[in-house]
Structures are given as structure tokens and as C-alpha cells.
Chain A
Amino acid sequence: MTANLFLPVSVIGYVVAIFTATLRTVYRAEGARRATSVLLIVTWLAHCGAVVQQGLRIGRVPLTTGAEYLLVLGWVVLSLHLFLWFRANVEVSGLVLPPLAGVLCFAAMQLLGVHPARPDAPADGWFLLHTTISTIGMATLCVAFAMSVLYLIQDRALKAKRTLALLGRLPSLGRADQLGHRALVVGFVLLTIGILAGVIVTAEDAERPIEVGAKQILPVLAWIVFAIVLGARALLGFRGRKSAYLTIAGFVLGLATVVGMTL
């Protein structure tokens, strides 16, 4: 088996980029901003290379095992961060999303050798839709999570009357809320489609007994939490700190599903 050389390069890229992003946030150094942007683009390319190499190795979209899922999820999370940074000018999400993507990439690197590829896994149809949509949906929910975390940090800083220099490093509450809400709406729709596609995949496989375990229950619980957040917002104007906490809770449930999948 050929080693995926892109993976260690990606992990090193994440570590250095997170370091420069922290320098940028703390000292507002312009050089650190430029360095972070270059490093993250290089890391994105390396991570992309790792995904492609894994796909070539197994001869299909690399979403057949938990390790591959982590690999692709990390890459989509980083892609969304770069999109947020360069299109929506939200640089500070660099403190949450790249570390998350880096952890996912590192976990994938550790697990790829342990988890053998599943050549028997369905290669197309509902399974592919289920895995692809769920991955993109989970990555979008990572953005909602990041915005909720930043919202809570900003909220705490405002309540504690921190200096404007510190507050200015974070997105405004309004911006974090708006971006988080958008990400949550998109993530919720994708999660819904992903769950429905998963139900169809299970139903199609007549020989396989219907399982009801954490892997099935946790995403439904996460879906319920997100539905409550969105419904309460639409009907009752529910937003702010409580909404941020609930979004984080929903994300943790989703993440628990991912972790459960890889164990």
C-alpha cells in the first residue's frame, strides 16, 4: 500500500497556519495575515491531494470508511473557512475552523492505516448521495458551530466590558449570528437529505437487519435540536446566547455520530 504523503504535509501545514493565525489575531500583524493565507492555501492543496490520492487508491469517492469520511470532512471544512475568509471577510473563524479541520485530518491520518478500505461498499446511488450530502452538511454545521463559539466569546467580552481593541478582533454579534444562521439553515437542509438518503440506503439493503444504535439515534437527535433552534427563531424570534448554546449542543451530537462511526 502506497503511503499518502500528502497527509503529513497537510498536518504540518495546519499546525504552522494555526500558529500564524494566532499571531495575527493577537498582534494584528499584517505579515502573519499574509503568511496564514499562503499557508492555508498550500495546506488546502495538500489536503486536496490527500483526498484525491485516497480516491485513486480505492478507485471511488473516498467515503467508504469513517477514516475517509474524516479526511473529506476536514477538507470541506477548510474549504468553507477559505470561502468565509476571502468572500465574507471573516478572518477570525481561522481560530476555530482550521484547527477543527487539522484535527480531522490528523485523525484521518491515524485511522487510514487501521481502517481497511471497504471495496464492498456501494459505489453509487443513494449511498453516495447519503455520504456526500452528510459530509457537506456536517462541514456547514461546523461553520455554524464556529460562529456560535465566536458569538459567545464576543458576548462574554461585551458583558465583561473588554477593550474595543479586543472586541474588534472578533466579528460583531450581528455578523456572527447572521453567518451562523445561514450556515445552520444550509446544514440543516443537507442533514435532512443525508438522513433521508441513509434511511433509503438501509431500506434498500433487504438482507441487512435494521439497526437502532447511537449511529442512527445521534444524528436524529442533532436534527431535532437544529429544528428547534430554527423553528424557535422563525416563530418566536429566538436568537442570541441561548440559540448559540443550542447550536453548539446540536453540533456536538453530530460530531459524536462522526466519532462513533470511526470507532
Chain B
Amino acid sequence: MLILVGSNHRSAPIEVRERMSFPIERLPEALTRLRAIDGVAEGMILSTCNRVEVLAWVVIEPASGIDSIQRFLAEVHRLSLPEIDRYTYQLVGTDAARHLFAVACGLDSMILGEPQILGQVKQAYRAAAEQGTLGPTLDRLLQTCLQTAKRVRTETGIARHAVSVAFAAVELGRQIFGELAGREALVLGAGKMGDLVARHLAAHGVRSVAFASRTYTNAVLHAERVGGRAVPWEEGVAKVGQVDVVVSCTGAAHQVLSKADVVRAMRGRKRGPLLLIDIAVPRDIDPRVNEIDDVYLYDIDGLQNLVASNLEERRNAAEEAKRLVVREVQAFERWRLSQEITPVIVALREGLLALGQHEIERFRGRFGEIDAKQLQVVEELTRAVIQKILHRPLRHLHGAVERGDVAECTALYRQIFALSETAASDRASGAPPDEAAPPGPNRVIRGGRDGS
């Protein structure tokens, strides 16, 4: 049975999440300890700044598995069991799988649809694979999960647009210039937001960023911090027509760029359009500047409106993504259930074939003189009869996946045909079925502020 014990930004405060995190260098040891827990057949640990989640495939009662993992977390992080219980959520079966998929798709992230989490899930998967703590079930689950997350990113709009003011400025730049590579930017003022936008622009290929502040030392300070160059204030204002993007974030009480200034700057300009980002309050740039041909002015409200509409689009895309996740989790669940019936099918077929062979041997003396070819015919006949007899029961067993009564069905077959559970499990490639578990999806929520 699949279980997940985790703690995230909704269930635990940062102080607890800090204590519960697994530094990358301690992850191999933690994985080995996790796998060593009685009843844990496979395991993986996902540890990021916003969440710690332990995913395990257990061959014991889910509740016992959860207790064991909570004890493991308490021991590793030197926290008390009540603390662990209070700050973690526990999910079982389909709920655990669905949660994992939602996490990988960014649906459970603090910023809906943020892309880093997919890389972190991949990293956790690799770490577990290298440590040998993955088996067929978790391996299949994680591969399906990663594929689904990729589909969600490409097929829905969950990650299509920026949801921060700084990144929205970069997207605007892209909408105007196509590529930002080789472009030049100018930051007027010494605000933190200006630094952030400049950093984003530089990270997206802007060739040079110049900083101009009325206090030259401030410009130098910001230029050093971001990796640009400082210019005197007058030179900066005069440069407006010679750059592609201007970010203004001064604390001035009056406008620093009038419409006439920008008209002058655009005269004889050969660079193409000019993007002006005014993130100062009160505004640094005359709003009428937007009326000038090939000049695009966005103030803080304009940028925030873009972010708000993008968030709305992400929320709509999230609904689509959730539907995709549900479909993929159902497909995984069908595969997992089919793995549970495989040992029964193998045992049933092998048992009856062995029985047939035994009976052939028993009656062989009564056949009289028969040659090898005749014996082969008898064996083939026996096999054919067995296959015919098995046809309907096996079809019924396969149908259990769709009907949702795999546990009852496999138990019944074992009882009727007196099948050995261990023999079947040994032959099956998947994890052994948990006969004691109740059928269908199960969910255990104990503690945690929010287990969703």
C-alpha cells in the first residue's frame, strides 16, 4: 500500500520545516534508514524549502507504516512524536498518489504552477534510484508522475505567464523585442524593485544594465550588487533614447521623465521600440508618454494587472491540470491493481498445469505402450483443457481491476484454488498485495493543519 507522510508550507511553520528538512548530503543515509524500516518495501524522500515528504510502499497495515515513518522522522530530526503528528499530513493509497502528482505539477506549491518543484521531484527520484530504495511500484509511480507533470506544463497554461511584477516586466520585454539578448537596459533610481527587475532582465540575456541615481554612490552600490555599471544621473537621463528598456524606481516626489523628454529621446532613434517600466509611487514618468509612437509605458498598476490576469489564467489552467492528474492517477491505479492479480494468475496457471502434469504421470502406466509423440499429444491436450477451464475465471479476475474488487476477488481465488500466497508473490514482479487492506482508495488524516 502506498503511503505518504509530509509537511509543507500549509501544515507547518518555517521553524518546523527547517528542522524537518533533509540536507542533500544526508539524503542517502536517510533513504537507507527509511528502507530499513520493517514493512517498508520502497521509499523516497522529497525535501525542498517548502516541503518534506516521505513516500513509501509498505507491505504492512498502512496505519503501522505511517507510525513507523513518523517515528523515523522524529528520530532523524530529534522532534517529539506529538510534534510530528501535529505538523504532518498522512495520505494513503490513491490520495497519496494524487498528492504526489499535484506536487510535481506545481498545483500544491505556494506559487501556483511554479516550475522548480518538478526539478526537485526529479532530483528526489534520482537520489532514491541511486540509493536503491525504489522498487517497481514507486519507480512506475514516479515515472508516470514526471510524465504527467511535463504534460501539464506543456498542455495547460499553468506555467505560461509570469506571476511576479519583475518577471512580468521581462515578459513585456519579450513581447516587444522578441528576444532580450543583446538589448540594453537603464535603471533610474536605487529601489530594491529596480534591482530585482534588472536581475531578471540580465538573467534573460540583456547585454548591459546601467544604473543612474541622484546619489552616484548608490548607483555604484546597486551596479555592483546586480552586475551592471553606474552612470551619473544626468548622463542616465540623457541615455533614455539609447537603450531598449528603462526601469524607473526613484523616490522622487515629482516626475523625472516628462513627455517632452521622451519625445526628444525618440527623435532620430534607430533602435526600434522603447519599453518604460515605472515602478515608483508616486510615478516617475508622465503617463502621456504612452501616447508616443513606439513607446510602451507600464506603471506598477499596469504590471500588477498583468500579474493578476496571469494568476487567474493559472487558476483556470489548474482545474484542467487536476483533471489530467485524476486520469493519470486512475491509470496508475489500474496498473497497480493489475500487478496485484498477476501473482494469482501465475499461481493459478502454474498450479493447474502442475496438477495436470501430475495426473499424466499418475495415469501414464495405464496408457500401455506410448511413444514420445503420443505423450506430447496427451500433454498438449491436458494443457488445452486447462486453458479452456481457466479462460472464464481469468477473464473474471482481469475484470476485477475495472470492477474495483481486486482484494475480494484474489482472496476468493486463493481460497477456492488453495493457492499459496508466498509462492505467487515470489513469482510476481510487482510488490506483494496487501490482502488485509480494505478495498479501494483509503485515506488517513491525522494531525497537520491542512492535509490536502
Shortest distance from the beta carbon of B273 to any chain A beta carbon, whole Å: 6
- Report the stretch among A15-23, A38-46, A54-62, A156-164 that lies at the interface: A156-164
**In the bound complex, do residue A175 and residue B178 qualify as a contact, i.e. CB atoms below 8 Å apart?**
yes
Q: In the complex, A242→B273 CA distance in Å? A: 12
Pairwise interchain contact A173-B270, C-beta atoms closer than 8 A:
no
- The size of the chain A interface, using a CB distance under 8 A, is 24
Task: Count A-B pairs with CB separation below 8 Å.
Answer: 73
Q: In whole Å, how far is B372's beta carbon from the nearest beta carbon of chain A?
A: 60
The verdict on A174 contacting chain B, using a C-beta distance below 8 Å, is: yes
Query: Could you tell me the distance in whole angstroms from the C-beta of A219 to the nearest C-beta in chain B?
Result: 29
- Among A165, A173, A175, contact of B310 (Cβ-Cβ < 8 Å): A165
Q: Is the CB–CB distance between B157 and A172 below 8 Å?
A: no
What does the 1/0 interface line of A163-196 toward B look like (CB < 8 Å)? 1110110011111011000000000000000000
Does B290 sit at the interface, judged by CB under 8 A? yes
Whether A240 pairs with B273 at a CB distance below 8 angstroms is yes
Complex CA distance for A165 and B176, rounded to whole angstroms: 14
How far is A256 from B355 in the complex, measured between Cα atoms in Å? 90
Do residues A172 and B296 form an inter-chain contact, with CB atoms below 8 A? no
A215 in the interface (beta carbon within 8 A):
no
Whether B160 lies near A165 (C-beta < 8 A) is: yes
- A-contact 0/1 string along B267-283, CB 8 Å cutoff: 01111110000000000
With A165-B309, A165-B313 as known contacts, state yes or no: A241 contacts B176, CB within 8 Å: no
Contact between B309 and A173 (Cβ–Cβ < 8 Å)?
Answer: no
Residues of A within 8 A of B270 (CB): 236-237
Assess the B290–A159 pair: CB atoms within 8 A.
Answer: yes
Interface hits, A62-119 → B, CB 8 Å? none
Q: For residues 262 through 319 of chain B, which have their beta carbon under 8 Å from a beta carbon of chain A?
A: 268-273, 290, 293-294, 296, 298, 302, 305-306, 309-310, 313
Q: Are A28 and B157 in contact (CB under 8 A)?
A: yes
Smallest CB separation, B167 vs chain A (Å) = 10
A66–B450 Cα distance when bound, in Å, is 72
List the A side residues contacting B302 at CB < 8 Å. Answer: 161
Residues of chain B from 163 to 201 with CB closer than 8 A to chain A in the complex: 168, 171-172, 174-179
- Residues on A with beta carbons closer than 8 Å to the beta carbon of B179: 174
Out of B161, B273, B290, B313, name the residue touching A173 (CB < 8 Å).
B273
> Does B268 lie within 8 Å of A161, measured CB to CB?
no
> Does A154 interact with chain B (Cβ within 8 Å)?
yes
Within the complex, what minimum Cβ distance (angstroms) separates B296 from chain A?
A: 5
How close is A180's CB to chain B, nearest CB, in angstroms?
13
Does the CB pair A177–B272 fall under 8 Å?
yes
Most A CB within 10 A of own CB, among B175, B296, B302, B309:
B175
Which of B161, B268, B293, B305 is the one whose CB lies under 8 Å from A240? B293
Closest residue of chain B to A161 (Cβ to Cβ) is: B302
Is B162 interfacial (CB-CB < 8 Å)? Answer: yes
Contact A163 B306 (CB under 8 A): yes
Bound together, the chains give a CA A240 to CA B168 distance in angstroms of: 23
Asked whether B155 is an interface residue with its Cβ less than 8 Å from the other chain, the reply is yes
Within 8 A of B (CB), among A1-37: 28, 30
Chain A minimum-CB-distance residue to B179:
A174
Chain A, interface SS category: helix
How far does the Cβ of A168 sit from chain B's closest Cβ, in whole Å? 7
- Closest residue on chain A to residue B301 by CB atoms: A161
B160 and A168 form a contact (CB under 8 A)? yes
Query: Which B residues between 54 and 99 are near A, CB-CB below 8 angstroms?
Result: none
Whether B177 contacts A168 by the Cβ 8 Å rule is no
Chain A residues with CB under 8 A of B271: 237
Task: List, in ascending order, chain B residues with CB within 8 A of A163's CB.
Answer: 305-306, 309-310, 313
Given A168-B175, A240-B272, residue A159 in contact with residue B296 (CB < 8 A) = yes
User: Shortest distance in angstroms between B100's beta carbon and chain A's nearest beta carbon?
Assistant: 25
Which of B161, B290, B296 meets A165, CB within 8 Å? B161
- Across-interface contacts of B309 in A (CB, < 8 A): 163-165
Inter-chain contact A164/B178, CB cutoff 8 Å: no
Bitwise, A117-160 to B at CB < 8 A (1) or not (0) is 00000000000000000000000000000000000001000110
Cα distance A158–B306 in the bound complex, in angstroms = 11
**A131 to B168 CA separation, bound complex (whole angstroms):** 49
CB of A14 to closest CB in B, whole Å: 28
In the assembled complex, the CB of A150 is this many whole angstroms from the nearest CB of chain B, namely: 12
Nearest CB in chain A: distance from B192 CB, A: 24
C-alpha gap A174/B172 in the complex (Å): 12
B156 to chain A: closest residue by CB: A28
CA of A263 to CA of B176, assembled, Å? 42
> B178 and A178: CB pair below 8 A?
yes
Set of chain B residues within 8 Å of A175, measured between Cβ atoms: 178
Which of chain A's residues have a CB closer than 8 A to the CB of B305? Answer: 161, 163
* Contact assessment for A172 and B177 in the assembled complex, using a CB-CB cutoff below 8 Å: yes
| Separation of A163 and B168 alpha carbons in the complex (Å) | 10
Taking a contact as CB atoms under 8 Å apart, the answer to whether A242 and B157 are in contact is no
Known: A173-B175, A174-B179. A158 touches B296 (CB 8 A): yes
Say whether, besides A30-B155, A240-B293, A164 and B176 are in contact (CB < 8 Å): no
Given contacts A28-B157, A240-B273, 6 further A-B contacts (CB under 8 A): A163-B309, A164-B310, A165-B161, A172-B174, A174-B177, A174-B178
- Would you list 21 pairs from A and B whose C-beta atoms are within 8 A, ordered by A residue? A30-B155, A161-B298, A161-B302, A163-B306, A163-B310, A164-B161, A164-B162, A164-B309, A165-B310, A165-B313, A167-B175, A171-B178, A172-B176, A172-B177, A173-B175, A174-B272, A174-B273, A236-B270, A239-B272, A239-B294, A240-B273
| Residue positions of A touching B, CB distance < 8 A | 28, 30, 154, 158-159, 161, 163-165, 167-168, 171-175, 177-178, 236-237, 239-242
